[in-house]
Amino acid sequence: MLDSTDFKVADLSLAEAGRHQIRLAEREMPGLMALREEYASTAPLAGARIAGSLHMTVQTAVLIETLVALGAEVRWASCNIFSTQDEAAAAVVVGSGTPEAPAGVPVFAWKGETLDEYWWAADKIFDFADGPNLILDDGGDATMYVLKGTEFEAAGGVPTAGAEDSEEFKVLLKQIAASIEAAPGRFARLAAGIKGVSEETTTGVNRLYRLAEQGALPFPAINVNDSVTKSKFDNRYGIRHSLPDGLNRATDVLIGGKIAVVIGYGDVGKGAAEALRGQGARVIVTEIDPICALQATMDGFQVDLLPEAAPQADIIITTTGNTRVLDVDVLQTLKPGAIVGNVGHFDEEIDLAGLSRLPGVEKIEIKPQVHEWSVPVPAEAGLGRDRTDFLVLSEGRLLNLGNATGHPSFVMSASFSNQVLAQIELWHAHDDYGNSVHRLAKELDEKVARLHLPALGAKLSELSKEQAEYIGVDVAGPFKPEHYRY
Amino acid sequence: MLDSTDFKVADLSLAEAGRHQIRLAEREMPGLMALREEYASTAPLAGARIAGSLHMTVQTAVLIETLVALGAEVRWASCNIFSTQDEAAAAVVVGSGTPEAPAGVPVFAWKGETLDEYWWAADKIFDFADGPNLILDDGGDATMYVLKGTEFEAAGGVPTAGAEDSEEFKVLLKQIAASIEAAPGRFARLAAGIKGVSEETTTGVNRLYRLAEQGALPFPAINVNDSVTKSKFDNRYGIRHSLPDGLNRATDVLIGGKIAVVIGYGDVGKGAAEALRGQGARVIVTEIDPICALQATMDGFQVDLLPEAAPQADIIITTTGNTRVLDVDVLQTLKPGAIVGNVGHFDEEIDLAGLSRLPGVEKIEIKPQVHEWSVPVPAEAGLGRDRTDFLVLSEGRLLNLGNATGHPSFVMSASFSNQVLAQIELWHAHDDYGNSVHRLAKELDEKVARLHLPALGAKLSELSKEQAEYIGVDVAGPFKPEHYRY
Amino acid sequence: MLDSTDFKVADLSLAEAGRHQIRLAEREMPGLMALREEYASTAPLAGARIAGSLHMTVQTAVLIETLVALGAEVRWASCNIFSTQDEAAAAVVVGSGTPEAPAGVPVFAWKGETLDEYWWAADKIFDFADGPNLILDDGGDATMYVLKGTEFEAAGGVPTAGAEDSEEFKVLLKQIAASIEAAPGRFARLAAGIKGVSEETTTGVNRLYRLAEQGALPFPAINVNDSVTKSKFDNRYGIRHSLPDGLNRATDVLIGGKIAVVIGYGDVGKGAAEALRGQGARVIVTEIDPICALQATMDGFQVDLLPEAAPQADIIITTTGNTRVLDVDVLQTLKPGAIVGNVGHFDEEIDLAGLSRLPGVEKIEIKPQVHEWSVPVPAEAGLGRDRTDFLVLSEGRLLNLGNATGHPSFVMSASFSNQVLAQIELWHAHDDYGNSVHRLAKELDEKVARLHLPALGAKLSELSKEQAEYIGVDVAGPFKPEHYRY
Amino acid sequence: MLDSTDFKVADLSLAEAGRHQIRLAEREMPGLMALREEYASTAPLAGARIAGSLHMTVQTAVLIETLVALGAEVRWASCNIFSTQDEAAAAVVVGSGTPEAPAGVPVFAWKGETLDEYWWAADKIFDFADGPNLILDDGGDATMYVLKGTEFEAAGGVPTAGAEDSEEFKVLLKQIAASIEAAPGRFARLAAGIKGVSEETTTGVNRLYRLAEQGALPFPAINVNDSVTKSKFDNRYGIRHSLPDGLNRATDVLIGGKIAVVIGYGDVGKGAAEALRGQGARVIVTEIDPICALQATMDGFQVDLLPEAAPQADIIITTTGNTRVLDVDVLQTLKPGAIVGNVGHFDEEIDLAGLSRLPGVEKIEIKPQVHEWSVPVPAEAGLGRDRTDFLVLSEGRLLNLGNATGHPSFVMSASFSNQVLAQIELWHAHDDYGNSVHRLAKELDEKVARLHLPALGAKLSELSKEQAEYIGVDVAGPFKPEHYRY
């Protein structure tokens, strides 16, 4: 049985490499570093025991060590079986002997976990001697683990998995069963001790809203995802950075002069379109929301239907968060040599599953995360060719993660500063929040922005008292009504 | 006594010129024209009697004639003593004999009204035989007139104006008194008949929110101002267009290569900064809101303090909606030849009142709406000069209106389509709304956007049923949660 | 007979208004003002007697007064019958009593000259007591006048005009005949005295190259037009400024979101495309030169054929310098309401002459310089309409001049600084130049750029001696080989 | 002794991988593929025996196989000891059995050659049975080898290397001596047989101009470097692509919101500045050429001095082609964490040699091609810190090569199409060229552009005969005068 004492990645040379990367990342995470400085003496998380489940990267290491620097005890797992950077995990486990990184922060994560290992790790993060009192979650697995465990424990045992249940669900049931068996009543104790959860992503937030609607949320949740400094920064400026990065690392193809189709003009699509135009591509946008479509036209982009735009595209990027937006029919009309990628939503957006079922389809690996698909073209398409082939990046998963390195540290610093403030809020003011889903208060959102300005050389002006009164706000903010759109 | 029958601007040659401009404007107002077509047969405003108070321009003429085409009876005044385009007013009064512009839509507005005439006109718009049942307002004067009239009538008469009351308030009191005297009980009847008001601007909306908080709003109000297709289009894309237009018409100065300071990075500031950069200026932004400041940096702009940025500026534009953001101290540090203008908020942003009180200040009219101010520079400023001089556009009022022609028709088409939908909503569903301030439903906001796409050659995609379910929306929208920021 | 002593525009109140504008323009013409300062004490043009023929605008007034400040005697006419700004002409004639603007600089120009008056004025600029010794020309009329006069004088008289000769040529012959009769041998004396000409435009330069090829150029010519600081600034950045300015003043139509076709992607087209994109239009480029076409694609623009692009255009702009690039066939396919304008070349680019010959065409003046053309559409066009109508700006002439105010002063400062340096060069070094056409030396081109940097807050770095040697240039420049393209 | 028969990289699995990459690259090199198609039947290079020396990459493989497809015999070496992609070399050696890639094209190149091996390979490319008759060169080494060999052979032997001679020169002398000894008179025969050289780079071109000035060039040379489709595309659009690519792969640091200093605003600097702005950075430019500086201001960039700009920079990029533009003094003022890189010129631009001599400097490898330098800061700098540290990419060498993959195939297609046309020109028309350096005729430059348009979906318009006459060109081009700047 694995244990944190013989933890896989606690390797000293890995840890040293990770520590180095953490040091570089700290420079690009001014929000987290400013929070450490601001709260160095008051330790607002003293007493907090945080069960964390979020991609175990170098940036997350800076988050973890910030939580520790603010007084928390922390145990950590990754929320994805592939996303751990082992050197970061190792560095956190080994620590650096400094106040924010004492030895011994338990991390249960490594690159390439099995599903068994994944849910084992999810269990491990709750193993505080006195139980956890906060969850920091990304995608909702940690929260679900506790809630399902509690439900099944109360029901007297896990249900029998049905034929239609996913492999993952079966593993989850097995882990819960093992946990209940090992320590009966533990889930009830866990759930009772938890003061709240802060959630990072849309997916996790949507789960929480559903739980809250069903009255099944036993503690308050803070929706970090919809802070302005998360959604409008992460989605827009993060993608603006990482989309061309992923395209370049995957293909080395000139973006300038090419025709790029961006499917969706939400924040992710806006960032994608801006990045591609910034590299000299001609961008065509497709949209289903007329407001976003009108924004695209006003920003100078052609807005067209996909069946008309796709056959001329050199690059097609999905950004919608929806399913099968690039379907088999459209894929068959692509130009030979087109590049297809997704930065919107896991692996739902491009219907590669459907494509692979098409007779005569071939898939060749050009290099890891870059595949050439050779596909028959029906005569009805009227394209004058009977086959086409195109490059698919990261097998339709998020190419900015698969072909590049995801969001840069600076962008994650904004997200994670929201997480830290949410944890402080939950720890100190949980009683002020009902058992529903809350957005972080605007003044905290503004605070996160404020912490990132000095590093960019930006100087913030201040309202005079007279001006603050004139517009009916406090000199210190918040400055805008809740419905303000930025 | 003036009357609509001998109405000042009902001049046939003026009307002909106005009709011509209306015809051109109709082409640029696809939203209104699409509403006419959609509702041609059902006349959803049949029975509505709308008292309108909004700048009597060519675009407003298209709005008025759209309301008429949808079945409404309409009476109109301008909400500003200077903003009427007489040819537009004349054309509406004269009509064109077509269904949407039959002769005889009474308009009480001309360029250069006195305050007496202004409030006389405000009274006239309520003179429907059976009383009005809807108000369409811009800035809130029409609404205030009814509410104050009702209040004073109930109190048995208007109060005596105090020494500190403004001239305008005294004129208002006089007009209300005359109205009460002429027809006792009329205000109570007016207020009782009104089913609701739709309001165009921030100022008017703020007044309405205050009334609603005080429980003093006797009918529902729809806040058109905060529709996405109003605030994010009008403010951003309208200013992007009209700011350089105003600068050019006023000064003919090359924008390229110049240093421009944009005070404020809200929607107006974003449009201003984009326009100036699009002309090759180097833009420096000042901000008090850290989130907007961070957006400015991410968009590539320098964010600096005004005292540091102003002395190097060739062009300074205020966009804040706040008071005295460009104060006397900063004005004295400007470079000789700098250009100063406001696109944010009436005439509060630049402290010209303060400046004019400074000993030794001179103001020379270069041409209408362009003045050169010559200003002493205190030795403490350390600038090595004892005077400076700079150009002030439109006396600190909105330069896009004063030096150019305001928002283009296309932008107004979006605003006004919201108005039309708000009027239909109030007319048909007023009972569903409480006596408070409501934003227009997102599906109507989306509808406005949808109506403007074909004119731009944009083609909107449609969700499949499967996709709509996947993201939990209806195929026809609305597509986003209320808090979505676009 | 007109004379400079009773010169039409020498009106004191006009002159005062003109002086005011000149003062403002001086601020935006830092190159000329720097030349005045640099050469204040040495008067490098002392002894020069310059016959100038160039649009008599406010900017030209600053040029004239700079030439005078450098010691020249100057006489001036406009090179276009419509382009004179009377207040500028008056101000120059009246002078200001300062060294650079003493009373009495003779100007023979007013807005709206007849052809007789135009050529009378062209004659007058040569009436120095001792004859002129330099020409400063725009378009080549002044140079042609001397050369044709000399030719005809030597031939014993002007030829008889043929039936096919233009009206203008007949007037020219008449003026030359009158001049020969009044002072026999005067043209020979004029031509003998002239040390050189500096020419402003492409048209004039082309004439000079032809003369030089024929051996018919009796003095050196400097081609100011092809200085980098002329052609790449004037054409590109001037148009970037004045195209949207002209569109706005003419039509008030929103540019954002519209489809704009730019015909030609030379320097003018590049400036036009950049300006339109900067306002949020979607720009389609048409090109005949594959290199420029490839540049357009790399800059992110769609490059398409005109018959395909024109029918979807909201705005079509010609920038080519060629003839009939927008022909009748294409004009008939335009969308109702399209806007058509030219910033390329006089009135050749749009075939309005051809269009006006089409049966059934109507032209309505919307306002001066804005006409609506209503045009039949042939059934073969397959557009489903039998007429269309569109707006034509400035009757197909340069819309940036006709609907706006042409190039801003700052841009003209670069052009005119080249002119001043060319005049100094011709005056001091005419013997070093053969009787052919020369470009201004690169160090002078660089000097012009250098003079404009401080006004923009730009600070120029300096090469170290080691670095200059490394790249084989002088520390002071010039820095690039002749064929360098910038 | 190495030989092509046991050539190092002729490895079948390498060759297969290389063939795959060549196939993908062919799609992005439409110019070369179009030339193959155009000349498939006429074989214009039949009889040509080309000695080629140019980075042996995948793109070069496509060039080589194009030359072969056009009828040439080819032998190849790399012009840099590190730049060979072994799989590309192997694929060319092995061939594909197709007409353009028959087995047996000898390539003498591998990644990581010694100097001995490098000059051995340089000798090998001339070993045609009947001698070569054309050189295709990059940097001039192949040309120099023949000329020096001829010179020394004629002088009776190589000179004795002096103490001050470089190691490389000694190896060159040794190789020439060996060659002379092995085959006396061979160099004279080689030089006599060569009809011309086409040269790729500035460095090589400058060498050729010096030889031509000295009368030491025994055959014509074509300067491919200064074709518009080379210099304005390669430099500008190539760097726009590869600079952010290199920064991202090296550091993963967010570019958005950062302050970037670009040293130099030539074509490379223009591409760099555009790329960084396109990612949301605020770009400050430094320049020594006032014309380029004025362009930078007109494009909206701040132009400042390096000592003022550098201390606030997050990213500093050199683009000048000059030496020590980033010197030790400035490096010591950099912010901790700044990123320093060069895309201008080999390793001269950043004075790392000088920096490494500074006492107390430390250099840590973060990963290959990314080093952290820790540097003492003198008290006089007044920066309040006694050390700083910054990241240096690719040890100051070209970061777009060292940290990314250099110019994309599409850009190289333009360069290499010029090479192919230059080789055809030299082969067919060598007698029309004197023994000096020529630029490729404008019609060929235009042809290269033309060949790349269809792949980008761009459609080229055609002049009518009337229009061509109007502007004095041929319908088929060339369209612009020699001095046109694009």
pLDDT digits (tens, 9 = 90+) for C211-235: 999 999 999 999 999 999 999 999 9
Contact C361/C309 with Cβ under 8 angstroms?
A: no
* pLDDT reported for residue D100: 67
C-alpha neighbours within 13 Å on the C-beta side of residue B288: 22
Confidence of residue B5 (pLDDT cuts 50, 70, 90): very low
Q: C touches which chains (3+ CB pairs under 8 A)?
A: A, B, D
What is the rounded (10 degree) CA torsion for C168, C172, C175, C180?
Answer: -160
Q: If you write DSSP's letter for every residue of A53-110 in order, what string do you get?
A: ES---HHHHHHHHHHHHTT-EEEEE-SSSS---HHHHHHHHH--SBTTB-TT--EE--
Better-predicted residue by pLDDT, A283 or D166: A283
pLDDT for C101 beyond 70: no
Contact D93/D86 with Cβ under 8 angstroms?
A: no
Q: Which residue of B has its CA nearest to A263?
A: B461
Distance between CA D325 and CA D285 in Å, rounded? Answer: 13
pTM for this model (two decimals): 0.96
Contact C324/C351 with Cβ under 8 angstroms?
A: yes
Q: At what angle do helices B58-69 and B86-94 cross, to 10 degrees?
A: 20
In a domain, B79, yes or no: yes
Q: What confidence tens digit (pLDDT) does each residue in D1-55 have?
A: 344 444 566 778 899 999 999 999 999 999 999 999 999 899 999 999 999 999 9
pLDDT for B481 beyond 50: yes
Contacts of D299 in chain B (CB under 8 A): 280
Mapping DSSP to helix (H, G, I), strand (E, B) and coil, where does residue D435 land? Answer: coil
Q: What confidence tens digit (pLDDT) does each residue in B419-446 have?
A: 999 999 999 999 999 999 999 999 999 9
Contact A36/A99 with Cβ under 8 angstroms?
A: no
Contact A136/A52 with Cβ under 8 angstroms?
A: yes
Of C401, C417, C437, the domain-final residue:
C401
Distance between CA A237 and CA B298 in Å, rounded? Answer: 7
Q: Tokens 């004058």 label which residue?
A: A384
* pLDDT reported for residue D104: 74
Residues C207 and C62 grouped into a single domain? yes
Residue D443 burial by CB count (10 A; 0-12/13-18/19+): exposed, middle or buried? middle
Distance between CA C411 and CA D182 in Å, rounded? Answer: 67
Residues B363 and B429 grouped into a single domain? no
Residue D71 burial by CB count (10 A; 0-12/13-18/19+): exposed, middle or buried? middle
Q: Is the peptide bond before C408 cis (omega within 30 degrees of 0)?
A: no
CB atoms under 10 Å from CB of B166, counted, come to 10
pLDDT for B4 beyond 90: no
Beta bridge partners of A326: A350
Residues C198 and C291 grouped into a single domain? no
Mean pLDDT, residues B8-20 = 84
* pLDDT reported for residue D4: 47
Do D295 and C485 count as a contact with CB atoms less than 8 A apart? no
Distance between CA B285 and CA D257 in Å, rounded? Answer: 13
Selected for mutation to probe chain B from D295, D297, D303 (highest B CB count within 10 Å) is D297
Q: Is the peptide bond before D368 cis (omega within 30 degrees of 0)?
A: no
What domain count does chain B have?
Answer: 2
- Number of cross-chain residue pairs from A and D with Cβ atoms under 8 Å apart: 99
Closest by Cα among C411, D243, C228 to B280? C411
Residues A388 and A329 grouped into a single domain? yes
* pLDDT reported for residue C196: 98
| Beta-sheet strand order (sheet of D370-376) | D302-303, D282-286, D259-263, D315-318, D338-342, D387-393, D370-376, D362-367
Write out the residue range of the structural domain in which residue C299 sits: 236-401
Distance between CA D47 and CA D65 in Å, rounded? Answer: 15
Closest by Cα among B233, B321, B215, B319 to B273? B319
Q: Tokens 């105003």 label which residue?
A: B246
Confidence of residue D92 (pLDDT cuts 50, 70, 90): very high
**For residue B154, what is the enclosing H or E element?**
helix B141-154
* Average pLDDT along chain D: 94
Of B28, B254, B337, the CB nearest to C408: B254
Distance between CA A2 and CA A4 in Å, rounded? Answer: 7
Closest by Cα among A177, A212, A213, A173 to A196? A212
Backbone φ and ψ for D166, nearest 5 degrees, come out as: -75, 160
CATH number at residue A354: 3.40.50.720
Distances (CA, A) of B383 to A185, C39, D232: 76, 27, 44
Contact B301/B273 with Cβ under 8 angstroms?
A: yes
Mapping DSSP to helix (H, G, I), strand (E, B) and coil, where does residue A342 land? Answer: strand
Residues A122 and A267 grouped into a single domain? no
Mean pLDDT, residues B79-104 = 86
Q: What confidence tens digit (pLDDT) does each residue in C376-420 have?
A: 999 999 999 999 999 999 999 999 989 999 899 999 999 999 999
Contacts of A290 in chain B (CB under 8 A): 446-447, 449-450, 453, 460, 477
Q: Which amino acid is at C373?
A: W
Nearby residues of D195 by Cβ (< 8 Å), 6 or more positions away: D133, D134, D219, D220, D426, D427, D430
N-terminal to C-terminal alpha carbon distance within chain B: 51
Confidence of residue A5 (pLDDT cuts 50, 70, 90): very low
* Average pLDDT along chain B: 94
Q: What confidence tens digit (pLDDT) does each residue in A327-363 have?
A: 999 999 999 999 999 999 878 899 999 999 999 999 9
Strand ranges inside A214-298, DSSP E: 221-223, 259-263, 282-286
In a domain, A122, yes or no: yes
Contact B412/B27 with Cβ under 8 angstroms?
A: no
Residues B244 and B333 grouped into a single domain? yes
In a domain, C457, yes or no: no
CA distance C320 to chain D (A): 10
In a domain, C454, yes or no: no
* pLDDT reported for residue B82: 87
Contacts of C20 in chain B (CB under 8 A): 366
Q: What confidence tens digit (pLDDT) does each residue in A453-468 have?
A: 999 999 999 999 999 9
Of B248, B408, B410, the CB nearest to C245: B248
> What proportions of chain A, in percent to the nearest 5, are helix, strand and coil?
45, 15, 40
* pLDDT reported for residue D346: 78
Distance from chain centroid for Cα A230: 10
* Average pLDDT along chain C: 94
Q: Is A114 annotated as a binding residue?
A: no
Of C383, C401, C419, the domain-final residue:
C401
Q: What confidence tens digit (pLDDT) does each residue in C314-329 have?
A: 999 999 999 999 999 9
Distance between CA D224 and CA D416 in Å, rounded? Answer: 9
Of C401, C422, C437, the domain-final residue:
C401
In a domain, A462, yes or no: no
Residues A251 and A395 grouped into a single domain? yes
* pLDDT reported for residue D174: 96
Residues A360 and A264 grouped into a single domain? yes
Q: Which two tokens stand for residue D174?
A: 């040794």
Nearby residues of D317 by Cβ (< 8 Å), 6 or more positions away: D243, D260, D261, D262, D263, D272, D276, D341, D342, D343
Q: Which two tokens stand for residue C400?
A: 């940036």
| Beta-sheet strand order (sheet of A134-137) | A107-108, A73-77, A49-53, A134-137, A196-199, A221-223, A437-439
pLDDT for A203 beyond 90: no
pLDDT for A45 beyond 80: yes
Contact C102/C68 with Cβ under 8 angstroms?
A: yes
User: How is residue A112 annotated by DSSP?
Assistant: T
> Positive or negative, the Cα torsion across C117, C118, C119, C124?
positive
* pLDDT reported for residue C484: 94
Confidence of residue C300 (pLDDT cuts 50, 70, 90): very high
CATH number at residue A186: 3.40.50.1480
Contact A452/B294 with Cβ under 8 angstroms?
A: yes
Of B281, B297, B299, the CB nearest to D300: B281
Q: Is D150 annotated as a binding residue?
A: no
Q: At what angle do helices A58-69 and A86-94 cross, to 10 degrees?
A: 20
Write down how long chain C is.
486
Confidence of residue D71 (pLDDT cuts 50, 70, 90): very high
Contact A194/A167 with Cβ under 8 angstroms?
A: no
Q: Is A266 annotated as a binding residue?
A: yes
Distances (CA, A) of D129 to B46, B356, D144, D197: 97, 92, 21, 19
A289-298, B89-98, C181-190, C408-417: least confident range: B89-98
Do D289 and C480 count as a contact with CB atoms less than 8 A apart? yes
Contacts of C278 in chain B (CB under 8 A): 274-275, 277-279
In a domain, C223, yes or no: yes
The interface predicted TM-score of the complex, written ipTM, equals 0.95
Nearby residues of A372 by Cβ (< 8 Å), 6 or more positions away: A363, A364, A366, A389, A390, A391, A392
Q: What confidence tens digit (pLDDT) does each residue in D344-364 have?
A: 987 889 999 999 999 999 999
CA distance A304 to chain C (A): 13
Do C241 and B256 count as a contact with CB atoms less than 8 A apart? yes
Residues B251 and B302 grouped into a single domain? yes
Backbone φ and ψ for A342, nearest 5 degrees, come out as: -130, 130
Percent of chain D exceeding pLDDT 70 equals 97
In a domain, B478, yes or no: no
- Number of cross-chain residue pairs from A and B with Cβ atoms under 8 Å apart: 164
Beta bridge partners of A49: A73
Contact C105/C93 with Cβ under 8 angstroms?
A: yes
Contact A127/A182 with Cβ under 8 angstroms?
A: no
* pLDDT reported for residue B101: 67
**For residue D469, what is the enclosing H or E element?**
helix D465-471
In a domain, C431, yes or no: yes
Q: What confidence tens digit (pLDDT) does each residue in D409-467 have?
A: 999 999 999 999 999 999 999 999 999 999 999 999 999 999 999 999 999 999 999 99
Residues C256 and C323 grouped into a single domain? yes
Contact B250/B370 with Cβ under 8 angstroms?
A: yes
CA distance D240 to chain A (A): 7
User: At CA D91, angle to CA D88 and CA D92, rounded to 5?
Assistant: 90
* pLDDT reported for residue B97: 79
Mean pLDDT, residues A109-114 = 93
Residues A50 and A197 grouped into a single domain? yes
Residues D241 and D339 grouped into a single domain? yes
Confidence of residue B96 (pLDDT cuts 50, 70, 90): confident
